[in-house]
Structure 1
Amino acid sequence: MALTAFVTGAAGGIGRAVAKRLAADGFSIIATDMDADRAREVVASLPGTGHVGLALDVSSEEAVIACLREVETSIAPANVLVAAAGILILDENGQRRPLTETSFEEWDKTQTINSTGTFLLLREYLRHRTRAPLDHARFVGFSSVAAQLGGYRSSSAYIASKSAILGLIKAGAREAAPLGVTVNAVAPGLIDAPMLRLSLDPSQDAEISRNIPMGRIGTPEDVAGAVSYLAGPDGAYVTGATLDINGGYRMQ
């Protein structure tokens, strides 16, 4: 059975790895990014066939509704939706801005992309699965170790936005279960991707790695492997869960 995965933020470090892994797993990929050219560049590099690159601004309700409608009606129903798009805003020195110095604009933009964007994607996905159920239907959101620890390098706006995902996933999982849809999230720790490099120079990797039980910074492929599990047949009985991908940096 041919399966389709819809991946947002697919031109980013982790999003690209997720698209590549799911393509290797046999999914046809709908890769989306703010920049359509970057999305098309991603799909051109993927193994397999049937991939499509589209522009999508996840902060726009109209854009999310229109994009999901186009995919579901003109391309293929999405068996899996991975909400990997996100943003972290730091100061000019690559440091977290104190809460007392955080502008409303920074707060609002971060919430709109990270938490509201995930809400819009989940809402539209469940609307489509209500109208057109699928035997294999999965939603995977992105939280962060920063939400679980209060963050060290991440801003208060980012921490709050990723904390919202933890609750949204649980609420969504309960509502989606009767539809046969699983709703889960991954919570990456320190991952060698562009967002981490906003605040961490590679020269600091060895020092940082000493604080991680596994002794290394994670890779985008580490996160993609967890998404693959949740998106695949072995994740069929997992819902309302957030998988920690952090090398033991934070243990429950």
Structure 2
Amino acid sequence: MSARPAGGRRVALVTGAVGGIGAAVCRRLAAEGFALAVSGLERPACEELAAGLPGEGHHPVACDVTDEAAVEALFDEAETRLGPVSVLVCGAAVLLLREGGRRPLLVETTLEEWERTQAVNGRGTFLCLRSFLRRRQERPLPDGRVVTFSSVAAQLGGYRASSAYIASKAAILGLTKAAAREAAPLGITVNCVAPGLIDAPMLRLSLPPGAEGEAAAAIPLQRIGSPEEVADAVAFLASPGAGYITGATIDINGGYRMQ
């Protein structure tokens, strides 16, 4: 799987890059030859990650994806420093928890918690998608790719509350399909990954102590997944070899949900 067309390196922009899954995605895409625009809330963390990636020329960009102007500035900086973005990975997300990592029930969820979750997970994905597609309308590129992030929680209705998170990730399933139809005339595919239980900070914060064995027992493959396994799926969807897949959701859950 090559990420290098004749004109040089392709550019990938990853939001939510400094999380466990986001960092694994960045490492994998960098190893495939992409130049990475590494984006997260805090610039020092983005700088540290970018400096440790395989290859050279990766660029850190701090961005709050809920802010429309900030997202436009993110793309402006990434394309000024690296060139036009051909792959967008929308990984920025939040799961708001209560003390001890407890997921709030719907009846406990405050309006502020609801709005914050929709803003990061839903609005952030929309703003990044819109900015990317506008730019590719103006300057088309071959093998344009978008990968969004949903969750097995959205597909199952969750398993331990967190209605705000579930609703936001369910919205991304529909947004991905709508974007795929609009992007198709540009030669751009838009697909989604839906991770299950993945050994990343978000899961660790919400998993009660000693519950890993019980959680793994509910998965047909009898284990929790790794961030690298999610990154493998993202890398495939970002590749030229995935050119006839669009509007799809790839489940990465060890068989926890089958369809």
Query: In the superposition, relative to structure 1, how do residues 214 and 180 fare at CA in structure 2: closer, same or farther (>3 Å)?
Result: same
1:69-115 CA distance string (max 9 Å, x none): 22223431111010111000011131121111110000000000001
- CA positional deviation for 1:202: 5.7
- CA positional deviation for 1:5: 0.7
Correspondences of 1:74-89 after superposition (within 5 Å)? 74-89=81-96
Structure 1 runs (4+) deviating above 2 angstroms are 72-75
Correspondence for 1:183 among 179, 190, 200: 190
Mapped to 2, the partners of 1:226 and 1:166 lie a distance apart of 17
**2:126 is equivalent to residue 122 of structure 1:** no
1:114-148 CA distance string (max 9 Å, x none): 01100000000000000000012101100000000
Q: Which residue in the other structure is 2:33 paired with? A: 26
Correspondences of 1:148-227 after superposition (within 5 Å)? 148-201=155-208, 203-227=210-234
Which letter does structure 1 place at the counterpart of 2:245?
Answer: V
Look up the SS of the partner of 1:203 in the other structure: coil
**2:254 is equivalent to residue 247 of structure 1:** yes
- CA positional deviation for 1:153: 3.0
Which letter does structure 1 place at the counterpart of 2:196?
Answer: G
Mapped to 2, the partners of 1:235 and 1:185 lie a distance apart of 13
Look up the SS of the partner of 1:186 in the other structure: strand
Q: Does the CA contact (< 8 Å) of 1:153 and 1:199 recur in 2?
A: no
Look up the SS of the partner of 2:191 in the other structure: strand
Which letter does structure 2 place at the counterpart of 1:172?
Answer: A
Mapped to 1, the partners of 2:97 and 2:15 lie a distance apart of 22
Correspondence for 1:237 among 244, 249, 252: 244
Which letter does structure 1 place at the counterpart of 2:90?
Answer: A
Mapped to 1, the partners of 2:107 and 2:192 lie a distance apart of 30
- CA positional deviation for 1:201: 4.1
CA RMSD of aligned residues (A): 1.0
Mapped to 2, the partners of 1:74 and 1:88 lie a distance apart of 32
Q: Does the CA contact (< 8 Å) of 1:88 and 1:154 recur in 2?
A: no
How many residues are matched? 252
Mapped to 2, the partners of 1:207 and 1:71 lie a distance apart of 43
1:206-248 CA distance string (max 9 Å, x none): 1111110011000000100000000012111110011000000
**2:71 is equivalent to residue 64 of structure 1:** yes
**2:45 is equivalent to residue 3 of structure 1:** no
Mapped to 1, the partners of 2:31 and 2:125 lie a distance apart of 25
Q: Please, what TM-score do these two structures have when normalized by structure 1?
A: 0.98
Mapped to 1, the partners of 2:116 and 2:71 lie a distance apart of 16
Residues 93-102 or 124-133, more deviating? 93-102
Which letter does structure 2 place at the counterpart of 1:65?
Answer: E
Mapped to 1, the partners of 2:141 and 2:22 lie a distance apart of 24
Look up the SS of the partner of 2:85 in the other structure: coil
- CA positional deviation for 1:26: 0.8
**2:104 is equivalent to residue 104 of structure 1:** no
Mapped to 1, the partners of 2:171 and 2:228 lie a distance apart of 25
Look up the SS of the partner of 1:21 in the other structure: helix
Mapped to 1, the partners of 2:45 and 2:160 lie a distance apart of 28
Q: Does the CA contact (< 8 Å) of 1:32 and 1:56 recur in 2?
A: yes
Residues 114-123 or 71-80, more deviating? 71-80
Instruction: Provide structure 1 residue ranges, at least 5 long, that are not aligned to the other structure.
Output: none
Instruction: Provide structure 2 residue ranges, at least 5 long, that are not aligned to the other structure.
Output: none
Which letter does structure 2 place at the counterpart of 1:236?
Answer: G
Q: Does the CA contact (< 8 Å) of 1:146 and 1:154 recur in 2?
A: no
